Structure 1
Amino acid sequence: MPKDRRVLVLTYTTVNQNELRDRLSSQAGDHPHIEVAGWFSFLISNFVRPFLPFLYSGKRVRGFDFSSPPQRYLGNKDWNRYFNQHDEVRKVHLPQLVTRIEEASGRAGIRRLERMYDQIFIDEVQDLCGYDLEILKLLMSSRLSVEMVGDIRQAILATNQQEVKNKQFKFMNIWKWFQAEEAAGRLTITQRPQTWRCRPEIALLADSLFDSSWDFQKTLSLNSALTGHDGVFLVRPRDVGSYLARYEPLALRDSVNSAKAYNHLSPMNIGVSKGLGVPRVLIFPTGAIQQYIQQGKALEPQQAAKFYVAITRAEQSAAIVLDKAGNSDLPIWDPELV
């Protein structure tokens, strides 16, 4: 990429913003025109702050309200729908506000971005939903070069889970939105199924969580490293302490309400781990995941996506805490045999 090319990289989660900055610093540190920003700060800085007066004359943004619930009883033109009593813009309606500002200003925000940047990359695009998809359409129709990167199978977060706009495309169903946009000629989908992170055994289990109707290509693992403990294992509850002491995996759980018996181990919630890459993980499974492993019972898309995220944090080994293997052929780790 030419060093004079002006590039903006966008992503949703703070974890991923930090990881992107670290990667760019180490791999493109000599490129002076690359910026990384969060999705919401991007919307406020480039649309709302400069062009709010086109919609609400004399008004200013005085902060960001991350926690307000949807303002269901306020009309789309009502100031209080988008701002709280402190004139802080509400996250829950921020993307809708952006679309209204763009309409009122004659796409002033998009035209400004066209002057500021040559290219926009959007990472973790599967996290976007609601009016965010309308903003993607605005960006795709601009003169900017727009590239979006994401893994539909990691769609466990959403910028606004309560938004009803485009609700049919929320979480993994955003794949249908991309397919529809491709059919309309507005974008091109390229699947890149290679992984440098996960061992082949991990990639194979991750692929198995989704049936062929999703039309996902089979993952090709390019990780050939051997450490003496590689692949996918089951760990009996009684052996968890020994396993943690020997391999120091990242312990993962579905939520604070699951795996309570292991709270003293301070496991990380799967959603928080998204974007991380670590040598090993130890997963405390939900009941649905236990049934998938022991009985082969299919997982619902969101259950499969969460399990997929947990498994694919790992480079060399992924272990699941289960007392019995059931019908699974996954090996049970035995501390006496290691």
Structure 2
Amino acid sequence: MQLNKNKAIIACAGSGKTTYIVEEALKLKDQKILVTTYTNENLDQIKAFFIEKAGCIPPNITVQSWFSFLLQEGVRPYQNQMEYQQRVRTIFFQIKKSRYHKKDNYFTSANDIYSNKVSEFVYECDRKTEGRIIKRLEKIYSYIVIDELQDFAGYDLNLLEIFFNSKINIVAVGDPRQATFSTNTSQKYKQYRRSNIFLWLKEKEQNNEIEIEENNESHRCNRDICDFASNIFPDFPKMFSKNSKLTGHDGIFCIHIDGVDNYIENYNPIILKYSKTTNTFGFHGINIGLAKGRTYKRVLIFPTKPMLEYLKTKDTSKAGDKSKLYVAVTRAKYSVAFVVGNKSLIKNGENKNG
């Protein structure tokens, strides 16, 4: 499949998004390509895939985090156009939105640019310079490939609109159901945050700015897991499994707290938890957000109260953070088990497919 101008690929968990990006980029040996993503975890996975497939990252391909790219190619080269003469040192990452920032207050006293302001700064700078940033990028890259598109928010979308209307071929890949992070907390385009970015993409498609492709086949998850995950986001296309292997313990299960030790001993699952404060009874657990992009044979999930409520009612409005639930479930190839205190959820150990 050839990379075309302005393509968005909406692909379910386990469909091979990273493999697609790497293999397609490796075909374009005579083109300059940027591959960018938000999280360092995903960046490391992309680099590892290139090394696995090609032995190295080819010289025509740059793999760079979104923030690093914006700082290097958007902020520093043209910061004086925004009447800021001192060299911007680095990015100051904010966990929460500050209510005290003025619109034009982009920097800390240490010459660091606020993470919530990076995209806005680059957008305003490009506008003020009549497109000099994007014109420069057009001379550097033929393709910009964006992974984990669902993490993008706020003024990121303004920048993507500029990219769509440039000479650069844009390929954006993601799964809106996996929107567990956001690049910033800006209220700009708040109606398109997280899984709602799909609505923004649909608008761009209607305006003939992009072409949307969908891949709903999971090579990772078996049928029961695909069905359960599909029910979390019923408005999205149903997932279909390409994993037909049977192991004797397959599907979705609920395990009582008293049986956790035995279950771990018998099945050796990877333990997933909502946050670092989640009690996993002394067992090592991985935060769900950090597990995104990974594949495990089996997972054992210590659910939140809203997740437990969803298991009881199948009411998605009560599931809490649906994206984290979806990510947790779709890490597994063969089995997913939830730790529960209510024995009525277990149904004598039967498979609890949603």
**What pairs with 1:251-290 in structure 2 (closer than 5 Å)?**
251-258=271-278, 260=279, 262-290=280-308
**What pairs with 1:292-331 in structure 2 (closer than 5 Å)?**
292-299=310-317, 303-324=321-342, 326=344, 331=349
Contact 1:296 1:327 in 2 (8 A): no
Shift of 1:74: 4.5
CA distance in 1: counterparts of 2:299 and 2:291, whole angstroms: 11
CA distances 1:10-48 after superposition (whole Å, capped 9, x unpaired)? 111111111111112112447442221111111101100
What amino acid is the match of 1:10? Answer: T
Hey, what does 2:257 align to over in structure 1? Answer: 237
CA distances 1:292-323 after superposition (whole Å, capped 9, x unpaired)? 22232333576222110100111221111124
CA distance in 1: counterparts of 2:320 and 2:161, whole angstroms: 26
TM-score (norm. length: structure 2): 0.85
CA distance in 1: counterparts of 2:129 and 2:201, whole angstroms: 27
CA distances 1:236-255 after superposition (whole Å, capped 9, x unpaired)? 21111112122221111222
Match of 1:144 among 168, 186, 191: 168
Shift of 1:149: 0.6
**What pairs with 1:150-299 in structure 2 (closer than 5 Å)?**
150-161=174-185, 163-211=186-234, 214=235, 216-258=236-278, 260=279, 262-299=280-317
Shift of 1:328: 7.5
What amino acid is the match of 2:330? Answer: T
Shift of 1:156: 1.9
TM-score (norm. length: structure 1): 0.89
**How many residues end up aligned between the 2 structures?**
324
CA distances 1:258-294 after superposition (whole Å, capped 9, x unpaired)? 4x2x252132221121222222110011122212222
Shift of 1:331: 4.5
Q: Could you say what secondary structure the match of 2:321 adopts?
A: helix
Contact 1:202 1:232 in 2 (8 A): yes
Shift of 1:327: 6.7
CA distance in 2: counterparts of 1:332 and 1:127, whole angstroms: 36
CA distance in 2: counterparts of 1:107 and 1:331, whole angstroms: 62
Shift of 1:159: 1.1
Hey, what does 1:98 align to over in structure 2? Answer: 122
CA distances 1:151-191 after superposition (whole Å, capped 9, x unpaired)? 01111211113x11111111111121111111222112211
Gaps of 5+ in 2: 1-26
Contact 2:33 2:141 in 1 (8 A): yes
Asked whether 1:23 is paired with 2:49, we answer: yes
Q: Could you say what secondary structure the match of 1:321 adopts?
A: strand
Asked whether 1:6 is paired with 2:32, we answer: yes
Hey, what does 1:41 align to over in structure 2? Answer: 68
CA distances 1:204-250 after superposition (whole Å, capped 9, x unpaired)? 11001122xx2x22212111233333222221211111121222211
CA distance in 2: counterparts of 1:98 and 1:256, whole angstroms: 34
Gaps of 5+ in 1: 334-338
**What pairs with 1:55-70 in structure 2 (closer than 5 Å)?**
55-56=82-83, 58-67=85-94, 70=97
Identity score, percent: 34
What amino acid is the match of 1:144? Answer: I
Shift of 1:69: 5.6
What amino acid is the match of 1:225? Answer: K
What RMSD over aligned residues (CA atoms) do the two structures have, in Å? 2.2
Hey, what does 1:336 align to over in structure 2? Answer: none
What amino acid is the match of 2:127? Answer: E
Contact 2:92 2:113 in 1 (8 A): yes
The alpha-carbon distance between structure 1 residues 92 and 247, as it changes in their structure 2 partners (threshold 3 A), is same
What amino acid is the match of 1:89? Answer: I
CA distances 1:76-105 after superposition (whole Å, capped 9, x unpaired)? 33xxx1111111111121111111111122
Shift of 1:54: 1.5
CA distance in 1: counterparts of 2:52 and 2:71, whole angstroms: 29
